[in-house]
Structure 1
Amino acid sequence: MGITADICDVHKENVVLADSIFHSFGQKTSFSGPIHTVKVLEDNVLVKKALESIPEGSVLVVDGGGSTRCALMGDNLAAIAAERNLAGVIIYGCIRDSGEINEMPVGICALGTNPFKSIKKGEGESDVPLRFANAEWKPGAWVYADEDGILLADEKLQI
């Protein structure tokens, strides 16, 4: 069993299951950690800034508004996540360079791929509660992701 199945067996009443709308990219198919958030629309400046600054072991959750018109992360930003030992990245939007990212020691969940790069205006918000995939993504809460799904909990759960 994966980590999410184990958590559901023990903590079903303490977790929320995000809608199964994400695809997995990178070599890490399972990850968990405290949430840090960014809310942007087709602009990845704050995504890069967060990848460079959030603590090791964290999960960056990006609310890209569900846009599939461009990518919010490519291989260069994925490399930052890998180098900084971030637990993972969840993007309510798209990535690009998926072939390269799939060879990297990262865990990324995104709606899909798009070869177009994002704009670079630096607009958006950081460290704010997000709502997408029928779940609330709160800074400091915990997320658990694997092949079976993505779970959210208000705190770190023991299994």
Structure 2
Amino acid sequence: MNASKVYLKVQRVAADIARQAREVTVADIHEAMGPQGRGALMGARMRPLSEGQQRIAGPAVTAFCWPGDNLMMHRALYLAQPGDVLVVVCQSELSGAQWGDLACRYAMQKGLAGVVVQGCVRDIDQVRAFGFPVWSTHIWPMHPDKSGHGSVNAPVVCEGVNVRPGDLIVADGDAVICVPRDEAAQVLAAAQAKMRREDEVAEKVRAGGSVWELSGAAASYAKLGIEEVNAAWDE
């Protein structure tokens, strides 16, 4: 008896929250979450395939795949809806590609926001040409089977982060972050407020202000009582 299970329904983060989250950076979301934000960031191995201004946000649809097999990815892709972010986990990361050009074509046709893969992707020249947003931990063309067990729309751990179906996934050139669905509205509001504050600081910098002062670095430095010597170190 196998332990595979596919859930056909997902309780998704609200569409308007996902839409607004596309205008917020991962860095601001991470900081808006406080200490919890450190654990919400996927590891630094997770990188975008394409450079540029790609930024996505949407509810997670998850797939956990057997080593060397991407059958559950295909089932999740089939069940995904427009605006979803497909989160695929294969712990034997180089055992078989989880994503390629045909999956990419289908995802674009369905209107998915993007895909995040702990594992390898292939056909990257074509995928990059499509412009479809893809983040992954590896690039490797190893052939995958389509006969293995796994799960769809069950919680997964993707590059160190707990991801539940329907949670808010936000990704940009910095990283990928997962915000729990029931906290997304509060986190988004805090991140938007942080962006507004930074915009105000940026205006002051453009007017000639010093980042040393405006960032709070000067005040922190003053508290440390560091000795400053008006000479070169080797005089």
TM-score, scaled relative to structure 1? 0.89
- 1:43 is aligned to 2:69: yes
User: How far did 1:6 drift?
Assistant: 2.9
2:28 maps to a residue whose letter is D
Which shows bigger deviation, 148-157 or 33-42?
148-157
Once residues 54 and 78 of structure 2 are traced to their aligned partners in structure 1, the CA distance between those partners, rounded to angstroms, is 22
2:132 is aligned, of 95, 106, 109, to: 106
- 1:130 is aligned to 2:156: yes
Once residues 53 and 105 of structure 2 are traced to their aligned partners in structure 1, the CA distance between those partners, rounded to angstroms, is 13
1:4 maps to a residue whose letter is V
- 1:22 is aligned to 2:46: yes
Once residues 113 and 5 of structure 1 are traced to their aligned partners in structure 2, the CA distance between those partners, rounded to angstroms, is 25
In the TM superposition, structure 1's runs of 4+ consecutive aligned residues that sit over 3 Å from their partners are: 8-15
Aligned match of 1:61: 87
Over the matched positions of the two proteins, sequence identity in percent amounts to 24
2:129 match: secondary structure? coil
Once residues 159 and 73 of structure 2 are traced to their aligned partners in structure 1, the CA distance between those partners, rounded to angstroms, is 19
Rg larger for: 2
User: How far did 1:147 drift?
Assistant: 0.7
User: How far did 1:49 drift?
Assistant: 2.1
2:134 maps to a residue whose letter is I
Which shows bigger deviation, 82-91 or 3-12?
3-12
Aligned match of 1:32: 57
Question: Taking CA–CA contacts closer than 8 Å with sequence separation of 6 or more, which of the two structures ends up with the larger relative contact order?
Answer: 1
- Structure with more of its chain in strand, by fraction: 1
Residue segments in structure 2 that go unaligned for 5+ positions in a row: 1-22, 193-235
Once residues 12 and 80 of structure 1 are traced to their aligned partners in structure 2, the CA distance between those partners, rounded to angstroms, is 37
Once residues 49 and 108 of structure 2 are traced to their aligned partners in structure 1, the CA distance between those partners, rounded to angstroms, is 13
Distance verdict in 2 for CA 1:153–1:14, change over 3 Å: farther
Once residues 138 and 146 of structure 1 are traced to their aligned partners in structure 2, the CA distance between those partners, rounded to angstroms, is 20
Count of aligned pairs: 159
2:98 match: secondary structure? strand
User: What is the RMSD of the two structures over their aligned residues, measured on CA atoms?
Assistant: 2.1
